[in-house]
Amino acid sequence: MENFIPFMLIGAVVTAGLFGVISWLRKSNIKVSWYEWLIGIVGLGLLLLAVQHLFGAMSELFSYAAWMGFAIIGIPALILLAIAWQLVVRKTKKA
């Protein structure tokens, strides 16, 4: 229960961010392929999993495991998000 407020804030930020990205894509008339969405969703899911692992392990007082798990799960998440972003950016530069 002690992590309810941070997780609620994370959920609100993720929701607002997704709404902003989708609105910007529609306004800019950018078409995103299904695999770009898939890579982005997997990356976002991994990033949320990394944050949850960090909070969970820190609440259990396993700080080393928390940071190692955050790095092991978070770095691939950031890589996947960067790949999805670059795929969209490169497609828009071609057009």
Residue 16 tokens read as: 């607002």
Ranges of the chain whose pLDDT falls below 70:
1, 95
Of 40, 43, 70, nearest to 54 by C-alpha is 70
| Residue (of 87, 81, 12, 17) closest to 50 by Cα position | 81
Q: Rounded distance, CA 83 to CA 43, Å?
A: 9
At residue 2, the pLDDT reads 75
66, 73 in Cβ contact below 8 A?
A: no
What is the value of pTM for the model shown? 0.86
Query: Angle at the Cα of 51 (from 50 to 55), degrees rounded to 5?
Result: 120
